[in-house]
Structures are given as C-alpha cells and as structure tokens.
Chain A
Amino acid sequence: EAQVTQNPRYLITVTGKKLTVTCSQNMNHEYMSWYRQDPGLGLRQIYYSMNVEVTDKGDVPEGYKVSRKEKRNFPLILESPSPNQTSLYFCASSLSQPGGRNTEAFFGQGTRLTVV
C-alpha cells in the first residue's frame, strides 16, 4: 500500500530536549516536505527536499533541521524545542517534478507535538 509514515503520532517533550520526527514513504517519490498546522494559519511549509541531499527552506524554517540521506526518509529535527513549536506536523511526498504531471501530494497521518 502506498503510504507516508510518520512517527510518533503524539509527543510531549520539554523545552530544549532534542527530538526527531521520522517520515518515510514507499512510493519512490523525489519530492518530500514538512508542514506545521496551527489554528487560523493553515499549513505552512517548514522545509522541502527535491531529491537526496537536496533540501531547502520553506516559509517557517527557524528552529528546525532536516536531512535527506535516502530517498525514502526525510526526518524533521528540533535541536532545542521551544513552546512555540507546539503544533501539528505533517510530512508529505509527491512526484512533483518541474514540468511533471503527477502532482498529488500524499500526507502522513500527522504528529501532534507539545513542548512544555
């Protein structure tokens, strides 16, 4: 089954304690991205990756890091989480290649992160 898998689904942590949210897709997609969803703000892109070892900032990258060492995995790293990073996080992947036609984004099930 084609899917994007995020872990964990729920996470409560304390300020400053490094954490990683994993994301894996089994569709051989080149493009992957991370979003955060906050009430009244919709989904905002944190980082994206067009292929292995190619990553770039989205609209709200501060306080986050990513890596793309393998095509299927795109972890989101919070080196020193703060309460303003409490949010719902989504990973997504797609065949969104420049000029390509297959543009549907597949989303993970979300990670609810609370930083206290």
Chain B
Amino acid sequence: AQTVTQSQPEMSVQEAETVTLSCTYDTSESNYYLFWYKQPPSRQMILVIRQEAYKQQNATENRFSVNFQKAAKSFSLKISDSQLGDTAMYFCAFMNHRMTGANNLFFGTGTRLTVIP
C-alpha cells in the first residue's frame, strides 16, 4: 500500500503571509497523481490542486502552488497571501494511475492551518 506522510499536525500563519505545508509519500509506482484537499469547518472536502507525476512543471491555482520533487517523493503546498478563509484542515493525497485494477486514493493525516488576523 502507498503511504502519505504529513509531519506538521498544526500550523499557523499571519494573514497576507505565505505558508508551506509539507507532504511526503512512498510508492514504487511510476505513474500517479497527487492532490491537496481542503476541509474547512463545514467538513466539506474541496480539491485545491492536482499534480500529475509525469509532468515536471509544478501545478499552480491562483494563490496555491506546489513544489513537486519526484525523486525525493515530496509534494509541498504553498499558500501565498493567506486569507482568513484558508483556515482549514489540509490533506495531501496520492492516487495510482494504473492501466488495470483500481486507482484508489490514499490520504495523509492532515495539517490544521489557522490564519491569524
């Protein structure tokens, strides 16, 4: 099975500052996807950003960007210009991209981010 590790259970950042959330994973697969999901207090799971392992370019979605280091199996999320609405639990997730069988989603344990006014 794949493992996803988030070593920061909690983090905080001042409003308008930048914060980076860490994620490492372990896999023997060559093709896969990586995701960051946001879970605000409403409990809804919201996709923040997605990275395809075969793409070397780091994914970016507005204020959210990733630093994908395939050799190091690292996938960190950078949030720029942090806003109060970014306060949430953030989950890193991994999905295989096989040609046969199920492509299941594996999650890390989460990082609770608090944006301080």
Contacts and interface: CB of A to CB of B under 8 A. Distances in A.
B105 A42 contact: no
A42 B1 contact: no
A19 to B, nearest CB: 19
Contacts of A92: 45, 105
B107 to A, nearest CB: 4
Interface residues of A, number: 28
Given A42-B91, A98-B99, A103 B104 contact: no
Interface residues on B, range: 20 to 34
Interface string A72-116: 000000000000000010101000111100011101011010000
Nearest to B46: A107
A88 B39 CA distance: 13
B44 A109 contact: yes
Given A42-B107, A104-B50, A56 B102 contact: yes
Nearest to A103: B33
Nearest to A50: B102
Contacts of A107: 44-45
The secondary structure that dominates the B interface is loop
A103 B99 contact: no
Contacts of A35: 107
A40 B108 CA distance: 9
Interface string B34-64: 0000000011110100100000000000000
Given A92-B45, A109-B43, 6 more contacts: A40-B9, A43-B107, A56-B102, A88-B43, A92-B105, A103-B103
Interface of B: 1, 4, 6, 9, 33, 42-45, 47, 50, 91, 95, 97-110
16 contacts: A40-B9, A42-B6, A42-B107, A43-B91, A45-B104, A48-B104, A90-B45, A96-B95, A96-B102, A96-B103, A99-B98, A99-B99, A103-B33, A103-B50, A104-B47, A110-B43
CB-CB nearest 10 A-B residue pairs: A107-B45, A42-B109, A43-B107, A42-B107, A110-B43, A99-B99, A96-B103, A98-B99, A98-B100, A103-B33
